[in-house]
Amino acid sequence: MTGPGGGVLAPAATGLREQATADRIHVALPPRYCPLPSAVHPDAARLNARAALWLNGYGLCRDGAQRVRMTGNDVGGFYGRIMPRAPAGRLQLAVDWCALMFAFDDLHCDEGPASLRAGDFTDFATRLLRVLEAPGTVPGGTGDPFLRAAGDLAARCRAEGTAVQVRRMVDGHRAWFLAVLWEFGCRLGGRTPSLDDYAHLRQHTAAGTATTSWMEIVDGTEIPGAEMDAPVVRALSELAFTTAAFDDDLFSYGKERWLAARAPRPARCRLNLVDILAAEHGLGLEAATAAAVDLCNRLTLRFVRLRDQVLPGAGEPLRHYLGHLSHLIRGNLEWGLRAGRYTDPDGRHPGAVRTTGSFTQAAPRADAPPPIPSIAWWWDRF
C-alpha cells in the first residue's frame, strides 16, 4: 500500500503508541479503512511555489517561522490531491486560497494568545467576510494585507465563477467563522464539548464548505440547486468533510500534545476527537484513539455506499463533485501524515512530531449509524 509521496506506509499498529521525550513525539495510529482513489496533481510543487509567491507579495509569511510553516503546509499538495486532474491555471485559485486561510487559521483562530481573543477574531472575521461578499467595500480595511489578499481572491472568484458559486463560497466562509466562534466559547469557558455537538460542528470548524466551494469554480461548471441541495448530496458533503476533519484530529494530535507541553498553563478545554471520546466514555489514550479511527472507518464506509447509490443518476457536474469528495478523504489522509504543518509544530522544530499510519482493506463489520444523534441522519433511507 503506497502512502504519502508514493512511499510505503508504516506497518499496521494494533493501537496508538506514543513515544515522547522532551523534544519529540511519535504517534502510531491503528489501520485506517479507506478504499478511495489516491492521486496527486502533476504540478503540485509549482502550484505550491506560486501560492507562496502570491502570499509573500502581500507581505505575508515572508520570514522566519511563519514562512517555514507556510511552506510546510504544502497547499499545492493538499488541493492537488483533491483535484489531481484540474487545469493548473484554475486550480491555482483554490491553492492560493488554502495558503491564505491556513495562515489566517494559525494567526487568528486556534493557536497561542489569539485563540482566546474572541473579540479580535469577530472584528476581523466580519471584515474578511465582507471583503469576500463585496471586494473593496470595507472602509479603512484595505490596508490590512490579509484583507487585500482576500479581495484579490474574491475578484478572481467572480471572474471565474457564477453568481451561485460565489454565493456558495461566501456562505461556506460564514459557516466556518460561526463555528470558530463556537470554539472560542468552549475555550473561554474551559469547556470540552460533548461528542454530539463536536460531531456536527467539526466539519465547519475545519472550514468544510469553505474548502469544497472552490471545487465547482475550478471545474467551471455549476451543480444545479436541485441536485446540490438534495438531502442525499448534503449528507455526502457532510460525511466527506467530517471524515477528513476527524482524520485531521488524528494526525494533529501529536502536534497538539507537543504544544500543550510548552503552554504556560494546561487548557481545560479539549477540541480533538480523541480527547472528547476519552472524556465522554472514560477511555484511556489508546482505546480513545482506536475508537476515533473506528468512527472514521465507519464514516468512510457510509460515504462509499451512499456515493455509489447516487452516482448512476447524477449529472456530470455532480459526478465530478462526488469524485472530488472521494479524493478529498484519501488525499487529506496522505497529505496530513507528511505535512510540515504537523511535523514541525511551531516552524522551529522540524521533525519534532511524527505520525505514522497504515491502510486496511477490511471494512467495518456493520454499516449502521453510531450513537451520535446529530449525525445519525446520514444513515437515512434517501
Can you list the residues of the chain whose pLDDT is less than 50? 1-18, 20, 112-113
Position 72 scores a pLDDT of 72
Position 262 scores a pLDDT of 84
Position 123 scores a pLDDT of 87
CA–CA–CA angle 35, 39, 41 (5° rounding): 160
Position 142 scores a pLDDT of 62
Task: Tell how strand 25-28 and strand 353-356 pair up.
Answer: parallel
Question: Under CATH, to which class is 4-379 assigned?
Answer: mainly alpha
Write the CA distances from 243 to 80, 202, 339, 365, integer angstroms: 19, 9, 18, 18
Residue length of the chain:
382
How do the domains of the chain map onto residue ranges?
A: 4-379
Position 95 scores a pLDDT of 97
Position 333 scores a pLDDT of 95
Position 7 scores a pLDDT of 29
Position 120 scores a pLDDT of 83
Position 11 scores a pLDDT of 36
